[in-house]
Amino acid sequence: MIPFLPLGAINETYQPALSEAALQVIQRGWYLQGEATKTFEQSFSRFVGARYCVGVGNGLDALTLSLMALKLQNHWGDDAEVIVPDMTFVATAQAVVRAGMIPIFADVDDDALLTPCLAEQVLSSNTRAVIPVHLYGKAADMDAFAAWADERHVILLEDAAQAHGAFSGKKRVGSTAKVSAFSFYPGKNLGALGDGGAVTTDDEDIAHAVRTLANYGADRKYHHIVQGLNSRLDEMQAAMLSVKLPRLDQDNQHRQHIASIYAQHIDNPLVKVPYQGDTVHSVFHIYPLRCSERERLHEFLQSKGIQTSCHYPLTLSQQPIFETSDCRTPHAREWARTQISLPISPIMTEEEALITCEAINQFNL
């Protein structure tokens, strides 16, 4: 069997360091807001090239808290609109709603990414921010977005939950927007052993506001200046992440190597490899193949012992919680109809990748 993402086996390759770090946290007897979190925040901000990093409870909270901080800082009202791509994980838009604003869904391009041109199509006089998502591990063109956002007086955030370590131009994601949100959900390229997230920024006031909002809106103990949340990266997860961060680039390179095997050996007119075979501009959180007979390909590969998944079967505007019937996002909907995710991980072998290619090449109608 070729598993989609064997998390236990992946984390086994970091042993015994994970167990040793966990034991230290247990023995220190200090489980929140301690030295493990501080150490990880420092190394992660250095890694992405941002001045500040605030560890939070998960990726949804990282996005929500970023938006709450911006809303306060800029005195936005509840009619503020935030542009998000229609093809992304639901959290990108749920964060906008939780922060008391309105998500506006834009179409995506042939790489499933938002572009300034597509954002422009849904721009309104109420647009206050835009959130490009580095979907599947490929960074959106953040230089182009920075210029566009500047010109339109719109704040640029980034949802970097799928792209730890990726570059947009010369910068790592996490340092290419006013505020950046990360998730350390176990299956991400940098994954904790539970929930975790982070906000990175160069803006001291935003970093401070996020930390305050994430701690019940308290500026000091038992003194609450704003309605906040309880959302913290805990010491155990921070310690796990500090063990895993030093190997992130190497893990991403392995993913790119697997992607290059896919790009070279998949040869079937019924499927389309991503990025026209380019395998250096993504960290391949997901390997997004496209096939108009997606369900049948999934069943066929399943019968050969190869697990696949789909990211995502519905666009956000097709979700019951949003159900916006007047939304025109044909490319996003095409992705939702045809996308199928192949196995890819830091421990997948060349042999497993070749077996997968061979099976895909045997697929016919």
Sketch the per residue contact string, 148 through 167, with ligand PLP: x for CB under 6 A, - otherwise: -----------x-xx-----
Cβ proximity of 81 and 217 under 8 Å: no
Candidates 59, 85, 186, 274: give the one binding ligand PLP (CB under 6 A): 59
92 belongs to the binding site for ligand PLP (CB under 6 A): yes
133 belongs to the binding site for ligand PLP (CB under 6 A): yes
Candidates 48, 50, 65, 91: give the one binding ligand PLP (CB under 6 A): 91
Query: Which sign, positive or negative, has the C-alpha torsion 20, 23, 25, 31?
Result: positive
* Alpha carbon distance 225, 155 (integer Å): 24
Contacts of residue 163, Cβ cutoff 8 Å, sequence gap at least 6: 134, 137, 138, 139, 173, 189, 283, 285
Residue 62, phi then psi, degrees to nearest 5: -60, -45
Residue 321, amino acid: I
Sketch the per residue contact string, 172 through 191, with ligand PLP: x for CB under 6 A, - otherwise: -----------x-x------
Residue 124, amino acid: S
Nearer CB in complex with ligand PLP: 77/313 = 313
Q: Which window, 41-49, 53-61, 111-119, 238-246, contacts ligand PLP (CB under 6 A)?
A: 53-61
Nearer CB in complex with ligand PLP: 58/252 = 58
Look up residue 253 and give its two tokens.
């390179």
Count of residues making up the chain: 365
Nearer CB in complex with ligand PLP: 244/261 = 244
58 belongs to the binding site for ligand PLP (CB under 6 A): yes
Sketch the per residue contact string, 193 through 232, with ligand PLP: x for CB under 6 A, - otherwise: --x-x-----------------------------------
Look up residue 299 and give its two tokens.
């069943």
Q: Which window, 11-19, 44-52, 56-64, 323-331, contacts ligand PLP (CB under 6 A)?
A: 56-64
Strand locations in the chain (E) = 52-56, 81-85, 102-106, 127-130, 155-159, 167-168, 171-172, 179-183, 197-201, 218-220, 223-224, 271-272, 287-291, 339-342
Residues β-bridged to residue 181 = 159, 199
Whether omega before 343 lies within 30 degrees of 0, making that bond cis, reads no
Q: Which window, 11-19, 24-32, 54-62, 317-325, contacts ligand PLP (CB under 6 A)?
A: 54-62
Position of minimal CB gap to ligand PLP? 59
Compute the radius of gyration of the chain from its Cα atoms: 20
CB of 299 to ligand PLP, least distance (A): 26
Q: Which window, 57-65, 117-125, 146-154, 353-361, contacts ligand PLP (CB under 6 A)?
A: 57-65
Q: By CB under 6 A, name the binding residues for ligand PLP.
A: 58-60, 88-89, 91-92, 133, 159, 161-162, 183, 185, 195, 197
